[in-house]
């Protein structure tokens, strides 16, 4: 045992040494960071193309040896194995998700959006590897999920790992993440143009020219790799002759757009509803829940095969989808497969599966479009080619209504089918589906899933406050902290405390350096005034609950507000007795100020704070935020808005607060909100502001008018 452990340690040391030497060589050959980004973009395109091809072939191999073999079982055994195979695959995935890679759950695209918007482009390679394995297991055993979303997360993880390994700045690391995502989409769909538009629409959120060039290059390289290995043919081969020859068909294409929006909303609502129920399902253990989704999917696949004599419920269903595009399916089959695929995908995903929603959305859209095409053929007596044409348009329409990437929904159909003849009906149906679905549910399925998990991505109009509140505490806390021994006397502690520091409380540690609690300077002085200078500081600690570095900043602000404190101790999440830092309201103020000015308030600010400022320097926040040059002079004030306050019902951005004043938090109905420019104040709100004493009168005048507040707490 000891010999094996020694061998592992030696192997790890050799790997670490090799990595360091490789990094030194790379930095020597490519000294400029701009050059490194260019080289990495080329490398990402190549590696992501290979990874996407390997993922595709691995799933294909698993399907051939598992689900295809189950369907080919003799007599009635095919029914048994068709149900058991995805059930066992779901259970295996559930065990891995619970104990090994919990962050690899879901489609992967929401996680990429969070990594780009909130985490500075950081995504561990462990998650990408886990996603690869889980995707092969679950999709390969028949879960009604797609490989495209996981491919995006795998490739984004590769890009992030390369950026971190080559010591890129946080800003450039963040820019590499969409480069990897675009490469993944291009290779998964054989659609480089759609990969670029989707990355800009869905991941980046705006036309960032600093990202665009890298996205284009990586998408082109990844698609070239995919075409070299798997061939140049599009994903779907459709018969020649599909074109828009009958203007009267626009009536039914319009109907298709509305129907696609309706189906998209039903699909998304069912997904969210069942997912919420699975998360609260205490009867079934977490590791077994994906198995429930696999069981239902297998049962629905048996139903489709026994009744309709066709597949398509398990996996992506591209073979059956191809039959719909060729106009080979009748109305009963089209309608039934559409309903069964929705149910199978909802159960596969909501039960905690690891797979994407791209392929199911395309399948559902093709079945819906084919069904509307049958109406067009029977009512208007058009040729049978209309069935396939409507199926193609239906794919794009449901994609647009579900994913909410309207430009991509048009381009991706062109590239996947290799046909541009249906551009007019495709644009009409897609934009109708997008517009109607967006009216009823403004969020895309990915944003709705994140919101269900309590994650709110920053919006383009004002991203910084959202980004700030979702920052982990570890990113802005102060890590160099002076501590006080538990047995130190009050008098000695006061003599030791550096009066130049802005801390109002200090952590107390035991003989073995384990964290005991916080003691405030005010309490120590009070004890000294009461002739208790001989008492140990351990007897004076208060009961403020510490936080962990992984918690989000909004949770820390809420805890500060509940405990009426300006400082909290930060402890290790795995060892609550180990102190790792301190978080003060002043850290939050400096972060907001750094977002505005791109600089920190004092030279001794933590290195992680400069990374936050670097990443967010070009994102606007409050118009009133300015650099705080004399932080110790700032004090916090808590003001409650009365019924006749002029600031009530006004957005924060419209208030003319004195220069340098910062509104940090709003407590409303038991909830703490980190405000942004569009946040409207309400009667009864408790506002936490930072301002010096000279500014307070001006603040009160803006918020309360020519009157004194019923209560202003300051500290």
Q: Does residue 151 fall inside a structural domain?
A: yes
Q: What is the pLDDT of residue 599?
A: 42
Q: Do residue 222 and residue 259 come from a single domain? A: no
pLDDT in tens, 302-314: 999 999 888 899 9
Q: Of 588, 610, 637, which residue is a domain's last?
A: 588
Supply the pLDDT for residue 623: 31
For the stretch 671-684, pLDDT in tens is 667 676 667 788 88
Q: Is 46 a domain residue?
A: yes
CA distance 54 to 329: 32
pLDDT of residue 60: 92
State residue 383's pLDDT score: 84
Residue 27 — pLDDT band, cuts 50, 70, 90?
A: low
> How confident is the model over 332-354, as a mean pLDDT?
94
pLDDT > 70: percent of the chain: 82
329 and 350 housed in the same domain: yes
Shared domain check, 667 and 631: yes
Q: Which of 347, 361, 411, 417 is nearest to 388 (CA)?
A: 417
Which pLDDT tens digit goes with each residue over 542-599? Answer: 877 888 888 877 778 777 767 777 788 898 877 888 888 888 877 777 676 555 444 4
Q: For the whole model, what pTM was predicted?
A: 0.66
Query: Do 62 and 110 have their domain in common?
Result: yes
Between 286 and 456, where is the model more confident?
286
How many beta carbons lie within 10 A of that of residue 457, not counting itself?
20
Residue 15 pLDDT: 62
d(CA 151, CA 146): 9
pLDDT, position 706: 67
Q: Count each helix (H run) and each strand (E run) in the chain, helices first.
A: 26, 11
Q: What is the pLDDT of residues 359-409, one digit of tens each?
A: 999 999 999 999 999 999 999 888 888 898 999 999 999 999 999 888 898
User: Which tops the pLDDT comparison, 617 or 698?
Assistant: 698
- What's the whole-number average pLDDT of the chain? 82
Whole-Å CA distances, 321 to 24, 37, 312, 370: 50, 40, 7, 10
DSSP classification of residue 487: T
Tell me the per-residue pLDDT of 638-673, one tens digit each, with 9 for 90 and over.
788 887 788 888 878 778 788 767 777 787 776 667
The CA distances from residue 59 to 93, 145, 313, 386, 604, in Å, are 14, 12, 16, 33, 52
- Within this chain, do residues 609 and 507 fall inside the same structural domain, yes or no? no
Are 350 and 255 in a shared domain?
A: yes
The strand pairing partners of 672, in sequence order, are: 667
Domain with residue 669: its CATH number is: 3.30.70.1450
Is residue 697 a part of any domain in this protein? yes
Residue 45 has pLDDT above 70, yes or no: yes
Q: What total of structural domains would you count in the chain?
A: 5
pLDDT at 216: 94
Residue 235 within any structural domain of the chain: no
* pLDDT band at residue 715 under the 50/70/90 scheme: very low
pLDDT tens across 234-259, in order?
A: 878 777 667 788 888 999 999 999 99
Task: Determine, yes or no, domain membership for 467.
Answer: no
Helix intervals (H) in 66-169: 67-71, 77-99, 109-117, 125-140, 148-165
Name the residue range of residue 181's domain: 27-230
**For position 548, which CATH number holds?**
3.10.580.10
Strand order across the 547-548 sheet = 547-548, 567-571, 579-584
Does residue 557 form part of some domain?
A: yes
Judgement on whether residues 576 and 618 belong to the same structural domain of the protein: no
Enter the DSSP assignment of 644. T
Say if residue 303 is in the same domain as residue 379. Answer: yes
Are 99 and 205 in a shared domain? yes
Q: Would you place residue 461 in the very low, low, confident or very high pLDDT band (cuts 50, 70, 90)? A: very low
Whether 344 is covered by a domain: the verdict is: yes
The residues facing 507 across adjacent strands are: 518
Do both 297 and 389 map to the same domain?
A: yes
Q: What is the mean pLDDT of residues 141-149?
A: 92
- Per-residue pLDDT tens for 167-188? 787 778 888 999 999 999 999 8
Domain boundary (544, 561, 588) is at 588
pLDDT at position 498 is 57
Using pLDDT thresholds of 50, 70 and 90, give the confidence band for residue 606: very low
Give bridge partners of residue 567 from the DSSP assignment: 584
**pLDDT value of residue 673:** 72
What pLDDT score was predicted for residue 584?
A: 83
Listed residues 197, 230, 263: the one ending a domain: 230
More confident residue, 32 or 410: 410
260 and 405, same domain (yes or no): yes
Report residue 624's pLDDT band, with 50, 70 and 90 as the boundaries. Answer: very low
Rounded mean pLDDT, 65-86? 88
CATH number (domain holding residue 358): 1.10.3080.10
Q: What is the pLDDT of residues 501-525, one digit of tens each?
A: 556 788 898 878 888 888 888 888 8
| 444 and 416 fall within a common domain | yes
Q: What is the pLDDT of residue 548?
A: 86
pLDDT category of residue 619 using cuts at 50, 70 and 90: very low
Residue 238 belongs to some domain of the structure = no
């Amino acid at each position: 045992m000891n010999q094996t452990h020694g061998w592992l340690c030696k192997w790890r040391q050799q790997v670490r040494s090799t990595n360091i030497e490789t990094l030194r060589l790379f930095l020597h050959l490519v000294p400029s960071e701009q050059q490194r980004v260019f080289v990495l973009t080329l490398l990402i395109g190549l590696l992501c193309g290979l990874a996407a091809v390997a993922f595709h072939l691995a799933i294909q191999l698993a399907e051939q040896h598992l689900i295809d073999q189950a369907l080919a079982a003799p007599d009635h055994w095919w029914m048994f194995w068709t149900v058991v195979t995805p059930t066992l695959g779901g259970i295996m995935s559930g065990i891995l998700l619970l104990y090994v890679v919990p962050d690899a759950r879901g489609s992967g695209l929401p996680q990429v959006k969070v990594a780009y918007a909130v985490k500075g482009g950081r995504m561990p390679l462990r998650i990408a590897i886990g996603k690869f394995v889980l995707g092969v297991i679950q999709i390969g055993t028949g879960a009604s999920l797609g490989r495209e979303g996981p491919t995006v997360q795998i490739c984004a993880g590769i890009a992030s790992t390369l950026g971190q390994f080559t010591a890129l700045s946080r800003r450039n690391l963040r820019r590499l993440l969409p480069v990897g995502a675009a490469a993944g989409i291009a290779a998964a769909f054989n659609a480089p143009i759609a990969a670029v538009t989707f990355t800009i629409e869905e991941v980046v959120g705006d036309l960032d020219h600093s990202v665009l060039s890298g996205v284009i290059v990586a998408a082109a390289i990844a698609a070239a790799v995919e075409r070299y290995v798997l061939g140049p043919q599009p994903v779907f081969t459709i018969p020649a002759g599909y074109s828009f020859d009958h203007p009267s068909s626009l009536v039914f294409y319009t109907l298709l757009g509305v129907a696609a929006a309706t189906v998209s909303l039903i699909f998304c609502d069912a997904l969210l509803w069942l997912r919420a129920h699975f998360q609260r399902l205490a009867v079934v253990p977490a590791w077994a829940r994906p198995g429930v989704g696999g069981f239902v999917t297998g049962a629905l696949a048996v139903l489709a095969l026994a009744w309709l004599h066709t597949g398509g419920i398990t996996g992506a269903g591209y073979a059956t989808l191809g039959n719909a595009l060729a106009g080979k399916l009748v109305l009963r089959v089209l309608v039934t497969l559409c309903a069964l695929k929705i149910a199978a995908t909802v159960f596969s995903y909501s039960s905690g599966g690891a797979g994407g929603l791209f392929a199911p959305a395309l399948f559902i859209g093709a079945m819906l479009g084919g069904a509307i095409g049958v109406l067009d053929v029977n009512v208007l007596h058009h040729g049978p080619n209309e069935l396939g044409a409507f199926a193609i348009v239906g794919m794009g329409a449901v994609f647009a209504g579900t994913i909410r990437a309207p430009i991509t929904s048009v381009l991706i159909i062109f590239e996947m089918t290799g046909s541009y003849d249906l551009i007019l009906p495709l644009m009409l149906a897609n934009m109708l589906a997008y517009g109607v679905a967006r009216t009823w549910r403004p969020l895309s399925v990915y944003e709705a899933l994140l919101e269900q998990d309590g994650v709110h991505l920053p919006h383009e109009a004002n991203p910084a406050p959202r980004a700030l509140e979702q920052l982990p505490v570890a990113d802005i806390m102060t890590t160099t902290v002076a501590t006080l021994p538990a047995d130190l006397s009050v008098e000695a502690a006061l003599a030791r405390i550096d009066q130049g520091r802005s801390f109002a409380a200090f952590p107390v540690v035991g003989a073995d350096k384990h964290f005991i609690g916080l003691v405030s300077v005010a309490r120590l002085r009070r004890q000294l005034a009461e002739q208790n200078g001989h008492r140990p500081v351990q007897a004076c600690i208060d009961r403020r609950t510490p936080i962990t570095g992984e918690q989000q900043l909004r949770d820390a602000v809420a805890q500060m507000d509940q405990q009426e404190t300006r400082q909290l101790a930060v402890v290790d999440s795995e060892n609550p007795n180990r102190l790792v830092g301190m978080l003060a309201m002043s850290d939050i103020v400096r972060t907001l100020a750094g977002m505005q000015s791109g600089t920190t308030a004092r030279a001794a600010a933590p290195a992680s704070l400069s990374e936050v400022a670097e990443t967010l320097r070009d994102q606007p926040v409050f118009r009133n935020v300015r650099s705080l040059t004399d932080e110790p002079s700032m004090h916090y004030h808590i003001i409650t808005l009365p019924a006749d306050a002029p600031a009530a019902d006004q957005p924060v951005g419209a208030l003319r607060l004195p220069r340098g004043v910062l509104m940090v938090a709003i407590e409303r109905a038991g909830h703490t909100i980190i405000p942004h420019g569009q946040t409207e104040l309400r009667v009864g709100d408790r506002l936490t502001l930072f301002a010096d004493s000279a500014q307070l009168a001006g603040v009160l005048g803006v918020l309360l008018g020519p009157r004194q507040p019923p209560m202003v707490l300051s500290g």
